[in-house]
């Protein structure tokens, strides 16, 4: 008896080239014994609506897109109690989570990973007891760089594009006082940004938290203290290369299963959080881990 697989893809993700790889991906799924159905996203909310209606009928769900599309599918599966494993074919502008899992960037290679049927339960982050994130929740400067970098510039310059966009943002740095609470302590700090990471990096910065794990029941919290501009330029380079970044005196880092961030004054840069590249709730936010919340096809 054939198993059933549903492939969801966002035709507007990344360079929009995944449509040329759909047939090759289906070939690998069918060879692995999956009767495959394809859903092409055409409007906001249509993926979740379809998963709510049909998700429990399938033995596997696959998503092609960037971190934001993966987030949509994973949230829909958890919200509607769809328990089958999730396969990822990275095709977005930001594919930080897939890169962390060492899923090939080339669609056919990613499809072959799914066909091999090696499945790992992974943790998810959750915000305010509601929305889940696969990779990152953050706020402040640099947290949305991957959305601001022009795709053609990124294709030409690679990581240098993120560096240039980060330098461009530097004059906008405004200190922001927050209260940071974890399961052990509460501290008040003036910061420029914070991120809670499930994996090792975000926005092209792949080595922010090099010891991160997606199955240890913990999130990595990283914040940058408000310091003079010349110190932040050095820190930004460390952030880009991963060289001794977490040991810098201007970096706050800890691992925990619970984090709360409260704004001690208003600042438009921190009005909203960024969740896997999409707009999240305003501060204050409570962030926790949901251990082994979802199963993923991995190499």
pLDDT in tens, 108-153: 999 999 999 999 999 999 999 999 999 999 988 655 555 555 555 4
**Distance between CA atoms of residues 136 and 200, nearest Å:** 10
159-167 contact pairs (CB < 8 A, 24+): 159/204, 159/240, 161/204, 162/203, 162/204, 162/205, 162/240, 163/236, 163/237, 163/240, 166/142, 166/236, 166/240, 167/233, 167/236
Q: What is the pLDDT of residue 244?
A: 77
| 133-291 under CATH 3.30.1490.20, yes or no | no
Q: How far apart are CA 170 and CA 233, in angstroms?
A: 8
CB neighbour list of residue 250: distance below 8 Å, 6 or more residues apart: 224, 225, 227, 231, 232, 235
Q: Which residue numbers in the chain have pLDDT < 70?
A: 1, 141-173, 200-207, 240-243, 268-271
Residue 18 DSSP label: G
Residue 193 confidence (pLDDT):
85
Residue with token string 């995944």:
18
Q: Which residues contact 241 (CB under 8 A, 6 or more apart)?
A: 207
Read off the tokens for 277. 């590249």
pLDDT of residue 69: 92
What's the pTM value of the predicted model, to 2 decimals?
0.85
Domain with CATH 3.40.50.10330 in the chain: 3-117
Four-residue CA torsion sign, 79, 81, 85, 89: negative
Q: Provide the b/e sequence for 115-136 (b: ≥16 CB within 10 Å).
A: beeebeebbbbbbeeebbbbbb
Rounded Cα gap, residues 299 and 292, in angstroms: 17
* Residues identified as active-site: 278
CB atoms under 10 Å from CB of 246, counted, come to 18
Domain 3-117 CATH superfamily: Probable inorganic polyphosphate/atp-NAD kinase; domain 1 (3.40.50.10330)
Whole-angstrom distance, CA of residue 123 vs CA of residue 173: 32
Residues of the chain with CATH 2.60.200.40: 133-291
Q: How far is it, in rounded angstroms, from Cα 297 to Cα 299? A: 7
């Amino acid at each position: 008896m054939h198993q059933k697989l549903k492939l969801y893809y966002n035709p507007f993700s990344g360079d929009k080239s995944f449509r040329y790889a759909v047939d090759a991906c289906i070939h690998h799924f069918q060879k692995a014994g999956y009767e495959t159905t394809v859903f092409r996203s055409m409007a906001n909310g249509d993926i979740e609506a379809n998963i709510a209606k049909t998700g429990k009928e399938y033995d596997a769900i696959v998503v092609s897109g960037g971190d934001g599309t993966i987030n949509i599918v994973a949230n829909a599966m958890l919200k509607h109690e769809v328990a089958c494993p999730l396969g990822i074919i990275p095709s977005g502008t930001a594919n930080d989570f897939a890169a962390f899992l060492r899923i090939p960037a080339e669609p056919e290679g990613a499809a072959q990973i799914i066909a091999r049927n090696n499945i790992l339960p992974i943790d998810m982050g959750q915000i305010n007891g509601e929305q889940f994130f696969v990779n990152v929740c953050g706020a402040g400067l640099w947290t949305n760089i991957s959305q601001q970098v022009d795709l053609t510039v990124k294709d030409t310059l690679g990581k240098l594009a993120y560096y240039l966009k980060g330098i461009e943002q530097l004059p906008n740095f405004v200190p922001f006082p927050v209260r940071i609470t974890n399961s052990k302590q509460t501290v008040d700090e003036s910061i420029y940004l914070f991120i809670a990471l499930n994996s090792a990096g975000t926005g092209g910065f792949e080595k922010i938290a090099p010891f991160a794990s997606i199955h240890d029941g913990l999130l990595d919290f990283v914040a940058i203290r408000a310091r003079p501009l010349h110190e932040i330029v050095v820190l930004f380079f460390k952030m880009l290369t991963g060289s001794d970044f977490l040991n810098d005196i201007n970096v706050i880092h800890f691992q925990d299963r619970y984090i709360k961030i409260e704004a001690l004054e208003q600042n438009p840069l921190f009005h909203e959080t960024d969740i896997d590249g999409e707009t999240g709730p305003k501060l204050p936010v409570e962030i926790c881990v949901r251990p082994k919340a979802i199963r993923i096809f991995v190499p």
